[in-house]
Amino acid sequence: MRIDIITIFPEIFTPLDVSIVKKAKDKKIIEIKIWNLRDFSKDKHKKVDDRVYGGGKGMVLKCQPIFDAVEKIKKENKDGIVILTSPTGQLFNQQFAKKLTQEKGFIIICGHYEGVDERVKEICDYEISIGDYILTGGELPSMVIVDCVVRLLPGVLPKDAPIYDSFSNYLLDWPCYTRPKNFRGLKVPEILLSGNHKEIEKWRKEKAIEITKEKRPDLYKKYLNQGGENDN
């Protein structure tokens, strides 16, 4: 998979050079290229933003450098869909991440300042928000999207590992424990020490449902809507 990211702060993307994403790059499962939006500016000072028409505070990223950047990248990443990080975008979740794994590649435009010129959305396939809060720019959201998608690609994690992640089937994860069995009077549930894998699996499912129902009733409702009540 080819991933291109357009940003005015290319130096911020060091987290993509460690951990799971780095392993995916080393295995040649993904290729990531960071593009500096200022390299596409036709302004002698490499300016990529301007004042808002109609007045108001803040600056807006201009059309020209973004359009030119996407057009150049498309010559290399021909099948890449275009994603804009934006507070007005659809909320990113595990199901949407799975959908993106079916793409051959994608190009992420990192929004900034007061946003981007509205006309940029004409060349975007998706607008994505990672939550109902405001960040300084789209760089952190872009890394969240990349990390979430990459770990779902075949060959990145051990086979079937992602299907047990929280949110994969609208359930949060079950409680996990490791050694020692007793730490300061806090004990590991006996069922997990029983060796009865069928009962352990049943306990884990029950706990996942219980935790989701208590902490995320919105997810629990989705779980029920997909037929989860038949598993309970």
* DSSP E strand boundaries for the chain: 2-7, 31-36, 49-51, 59-61, 81-91, 105-109, 126-129, 182-183, 186-187
At residue 231, the pLDDT reads 54
Average pLDDT over the chain reads: 93
At residue 164, the pLDDT reads 61
pLDDT at position 6 over 60:
yes
SS3 state at 73: helix
pLDDT tier for residue 169 given thresholds of 50, 70 and 90: confident
At residue 176, the pLDDT reads 94
Mean pLDDT of 11-31: 97
At residue 142, the pLDDT reads 98
Q: What are the sequence ranges of the domains in the chain?
A: 2-150, 166-230
Per residue in 113-145, pLDDT (tens digit) is 788 999 999 999 999 999 999 899 999 999 999
At residue 217, the pLDDT reads 96
Residue 26 appears among annotated catalytic residues: no
10 Å Cβ neighbour count for 11?
9
Residue 165 appears among annotated catalytic residues: yes
Asked if residues 12 and 6 have their Cβ atoms less than 8 Å apart, the reply is: no
Selecting among 117, 141, 151, 162, the annotated active-site residue is 151
pLDDT at position 162 over 70:
no
Fold observed for domain 166-230: Trp Operon Repressor; Chain A (1.10.1270)
Selecting among 87, 173, 204, 216, the annotated active-site residue is 87
Asked if residues 36 and 10 have their Cβ atoms less than 8 Å apart, the reply is: yes
Residue 151 appears among annotated catalytic residues: yes
As a whole number of angstroms, the distance between CA 148 and CA 156 comes to 12
pLDDT at position 41 over 70:
yes
What predicted TM-score, i.e. pTM, was given to this entire model?
A: 0.88
Residue 119 appears among annotated catalytic residues: no
pLDDT at position 154 over 90:
yes
Percent above pLDDT 70 for the chain = 96
Selecting among 31, 50, 114, 210, the annotated active-site residue is 114
Selecting among 165, 173, 210, 216, the annotated active-site residue is 165
Mean pLDDT of 64-72: 98
Helices (H), 101-227: 139-150, 197-215, 217-225
2-150 belongs to which CATH class?
alpha beta
pLDDT tier for residue 197 given thresholds of 50, 70 and 90: very high
